[in-house]
A and B are shown apart, each in its own frame.
Chain A
Amino acid sequence: MNKDEMMRKVQMLSFVVVDVNLFLDTHPNNTAALNYYEKYRNLYMEAKSQYEKNFGPLTAGGVDIKDKWSWIETPWPWQWEA
């Protein structure tokens, strides 16, 4: 999976997590939705960490702390290509 594909996967899973989050806000005891949330949150975190391992941190919180601050190595928003 290339960088774009992996990014899209992260975005899709992130969206699923947010959407079921909204459902749970009004149905906090719904077991099916809770299970669903757990499943997709794990998938999301897995995809996110996969992406970050290969292509750098998505958020500053995803910086892999070794000897330097890798957050500034990936492009800033204004440096992205259209």
Chain B
Amino acid sequence: MADVQAVNAADYDIEPYVGMPIYFDDNGALLGYGRKNSCIVSDGTTAGNNTGNKNCSGGMMESPGTVRPGNQGMQNNQDMQNNQGMQNNQGNQSNQSMQNGQSMQGTQNNQNMQNAQGMQNNQGNQGMQNNQGMQGNQNVQSIMCSRNFETWPLAMAYVPWQAFKQTYSPEEGFEAGTIFPELDLPFLGGGRR
């Protein structure tokens, strides 16, 4: 895996932002970029930011190591745009087009960039490269949807900066436990429910 690469965003039709993770394969070809959707909750029992996250619901039930039949050797750009196609990135590494960084950059990956689903899978893939058992992106998804954070790819975190805005009245604030309405949020922690 390449250590550090300078990327000309224009080459990839990327809209960069500070801290944006970018992922490459062993040959230095761009695999994907950007953040994945929130996938904090493993079992789908708590909504949170998970609502509508198809990756979680679709991927998490599959057992590690599963490679769906029919996807082997999938090279078609169209197919690579969806999850089905992305499942076998690991499996595809031996095929010719995957070994060629140039062609990756020029074709398949640009297609991948158009699709958030694909990007998410790529992000997962990067973290799982050394894991023999994890061959498909669906399985990476299942890892990222688990609570075993040790198996998750490394990531960057940020905390939005609070601005001083309208506060609660002392009465409201005393009841809510904060004078800041933007911090008056439901507590959704506490482990499995």
> Nearest CB to that of B167 among chain A residues?
A36
Q: Measured between alpha carbons, how far is A11 from B171 in the docked complex, in Å?
A: 10
- Does any Cβ of A come within 8 Å of B12's Cβ? no
Chain A contacts for B171, CB-based, 8 A: 12
Task: Give the residue of B162, B164, B170, B180 whose beta carbon is less than 8 angstroms from that of A15.
Answer: B170
> Nearest CB to that of B178 among chain A residues?
A19
Q: How many residues of A contact B (CB 8 A)?
A: 16
Q: Measured between alpha carbons, how far is A27 from B164 in the docked complex, in Å?
A: 9
- Does any Cβ of B come within 8 Å of A20's Cβ? yes
Query: Do A27 and B162 touch (CB < 8 A)?
Result: yes
Task: Give the residue of B164, B173, B180 whose beta carbon is less than 8 angstroms from that of A12.
Answer: B173
- Does any Cβ of B come within 8 Å of A42's Cβ? no
Q: Measured between alpha carbons, how far is A16 from B174 in the docked complex, in Å?
A: 8
| Chain A contact residues, CB within 8 Å of chain B | 9, 11-13, 15-16, 19-20, 23, 26-27, 30, 32-33, 36, 40
